[in-house]
Amino acid sequence: MSQCLSRNESVDLSLFDLDSERLEMARGSGELAGSMAETISGADVIMSVLPADVHVLAVADEIKRHGAPNQTYLDFSTIAPQTITKVSQQLDAIGIRTVGLGLLRGTPAARAGTLVLYGGGFEGVREQVYPLLASMSSDVIDLGTPEAAKALKVANNMVVGCLDALICEVIAIGEKTGFSARDVVDRLIEAGCDSWVLRHHTVPHVLPDDLGPGKFATRLMAKDMRLFGMMAEDYGCPSRLSAVALSYYRGSLAHGHDLDYHPIVVRWLRNGMAAQDVISDPDALTAVIAGAVWVQALVTYDALAVTSAAGLDPKVASRQMDEGSGGNGSLSALISSGDYDRDTFDVGSAVSSLRRATDAADRINAPAVFFEMAKVDAATISSPPGQK
């Protein structure tokens, strides 16, 4: 991102990182500063891209100490919406405006300057910051508030993390019943369980076992799943399924995969299911894949519940996730129907299908934790009159 900014001739860039090696990698993009205070003092615009909430709060403290009225602070970190709201209130008190942003499309797009950015808090600073954002992105989507921008980014990442873990679980179950991972993927697509992550994570990376470092790491995905869980609880709509995904990523972390690509969870699941002990049961895989469609739908509803609590219209949130990495067949179906009310969810069909999936897991001794939890989750949704 700093390299892209450096090509904007109207920008004088000062750079700092606590990691001296990372800072050295940015040499040539701008002046390398010796401290955070040095980058903040005298700047018109301050930008941060950081791992977690605690780091953003620490930077905000530095800005309060070394900043000045009329500066603008842009944070691109994936953090809780409540955190950016707290930072915005603190800095607004001393005359510094805060814009909250979320990054989409990953490192290749950051290098190319084609990021998609969710943003909020542009009022009064749009003319100042949009030319800077244009140097790094192809699209800036104004969601109104910094809180809404962060909430949608975290929710999108939750959908990605859950679907990656779900697909890995289905692959491990399929292999245990005698099918190849490729066969499982094809059957998921045929059953209506297609998704952006299946096309962009599973096919190019899980199938060829390209799961080493250099892509979105397991430790970062675990952080985002924890973040969504805390955010959901704060909004009063806790998510059981994101908790399952988090436990899977924690399992991978416990086996030393912290820097590996997060779908490496498939290895942990394969080991747990003793995939080498094949139990031929094609009907079991059929039942599990049918259940996976309902798990995907429930994950999607959880994401929309949280973004709605953050003030986003579900039509806006669903469209943005569908166009991004959170896109999936269930989300497309919701958009097509225009019915986002979780209370109209077909509880009876969901529970019945998920029960068949867990019965199949019993036959082949597969954990199927997503399916057990989804069965409980679906059963707690209010049913329409006359439906059980």
> For the sheet containing 137-142, what is the strand order?
45-48, 72-75, 97-104, 115-120, 137-142
**Is the Cβ–Cβ distance between 99 and 125 less than 8 Å?**
yes
pLDDT of residue 324: 82
Q: Which of 132, 119, 125 is nearest to 320 (CA)?
A: 119
Q: Which residues partner with 32 through β-bridges?
A: 15
Secondary structure element (H or E) that encloses residue 323, with its range: helix 314-323
Would you tell me the crossing angle of helices 347-364 and 369-379 to the nearest 10 degrees? 150
In terms of Cβ atoms closer than 10 Å to its own Cβ (0-12, 13-18, 19+), residue 21 is: exposed
What pLDDT is stored for residue 275 in this prediction?
54
**Is the CB of residue 258 less than 8 Å from the CB of residue 219?**
yes
Other C-beta atoms lying within 10 Å of the C-beta of residue 212: 12
Q: Would you say the C-alpha torsion 257, 260, 266, 270 has a positive or negative sign?
A: negative
The residues, any chain, with a CB within 8 Å of residue 76's CB and separated by 6 or more, are 1, 47, 48, 49, 101, 102, 103, 117
Dist CA 53 CA 193 (whole Å) = 33
CA 295 – CA 158 distance, rounded (Å): 13
Where in the sequence of the chain do the CATH 1.10.1040.10 domains occur? 150-379
Gap between the Cα atoms of 143 and 312, Å rounded: 8
Quick check: 204 and 334 in contact, CB under 8 A? no
- Cβ(303)–Cβ(237) below 8 Å: no
pTM summary value: 0.89
Tens digit of pLDDT at every position of the chain (388 positions): 999 999 999 999 999 999 999 899 999 999 999 999 999 999 999 999 998 899 999 999 999 999 999 999 999 999 999 999 999 999 999 999 999 999 987 788 899 999 999 999 999 999 999 999 999 999 999 999 999 999 999 999 999 999 999 999 999 999 999 999 999 999 999 999 999 999 999 999 999 999 999 899 999 999 999 999 999 998 898 899 999 999 999 999 999 999 999 999 999 999 888 755 778 889 999 999 999 999 999 999 999 999 999 889 999 999 999 988 899 999 999 999 998 887 788 999 999 999 999 999 999 989 999 999 999 999 888 543 333 3
The identity of residue 297, as a single letter, is: A
Structure tokens at 84: 């950016």
Report the alpha-carbon angle 52-17-73, nearest 5. Answer: 65
Q: What is the pLDDT, as a whole number, of residue 151?
A: 94
Task: Indicate where the chain has its CATH 3.40.50.720 domain(s).
Answer: 2-142
What is the CATH architecture assignment of 2-142? 3-Layer(aba) Sandwich (3.40)
pLDDT at 105: 79
Amino acid at 265: V
Residues 6+ apart with CB under 8 A from 313: none
pLDDT at 380: 86
Query: What number does CATH give the domain 150-379?
Result: 1.10.1040.10
Kindly report the backbone phi and psi dihedral angles of residue 104, in degrees, each rounded to the nearest multiple of 5, phi listed first. -130, 155
Per-residue pLDDT, 350: 94
Residue 281 backbone zone (phi > 0: left; psi -120 to 50: alpha; other: beta):
beta
Cite the DSSP H helix spans in 93-179.
106-112, 126-134, 146-176
Backbone angles phi, psi at 169, to 5 degrees: -65, -45
Tokens of 168: 């890995």
Question: Which residue is listed with tokens 């009876």?
Answer: 348
